[in-house]
Amino acid sequence: DAGVIQSPRHEVTEMGQEVTLRCKPISGHDYLFWYRQTMMRGLELLIYFNNNVPIDDSGMPEDRFSAKMPNASFSTLKIQPSEPRDSAVYFCASTTQNPEAFFGQGTRLTVV
């Protein structure tokens, strides 16, 4: 398996634009997580899904953030409109029936 695949690896966008981050979890994994890494807050959980259903979105910072998982092999994290403070590295991770999650390589988002 190729592991968790995220795209794009880097994204630079202007403030106010919509940004969509994509994730393909490892086949067979039924849990998918979105994390964000910043200097100020470290690695923090934004939202997670189980069997494509959002279970806990309490970490989503604002209504500008939304996440979907239309099927077992694809998830998106959307920011609309984006702001400079959204600049961070966003990680997607997946697992099945244990906490040892596998992480993707991340998307480095820069909002200017």
Partner 1 sequence: DQQVKQNSPSLSVQEGRISILNCDYTNSMFDYFLWYKKYPAEGPTFLISISSIKDKNEDGRFTVFLNKSAKHLSLHIVPSQPGDSAVYFCAAASNDYKLSFGAGTTVTVRA
Binding residues (CB under 8 A) for partner 1: these are: 4, 31, 33, 35, 42-45, 48, 55-56, 91, 93, 95, 98-106
107 Cβ neighbours under 8 A, 6+ residues apart: 6, 7, 8, 9, 10, 11, 21, 89, 90, 91
The rounded distance, in Å, linking the Cα atoms of 107 and 10 is 5
101 Cβ neighbours under 8 A, 6+ residues apart: 31, 33, 93, 94, 95
Pick between residue 72 and residue 81 the one whose CB is nearest to partner 1. Answer: 72
Pick between residue 44 and residue 68 the one whose CB is nearest to partner 1. Answer: 44
Pick between residue 79 and residue 101 the one whose CB is nearest to partner 1. Answer: 101
Distance of closest approach, residue 106 Cβ to partner 1, in angstroms: 5
Distance of closest approach, residue 99 Cβ to partner 1, in angstroms: 4
Distance of closest approach, residue 88 Cβ to partner 1, in angstroms: 14
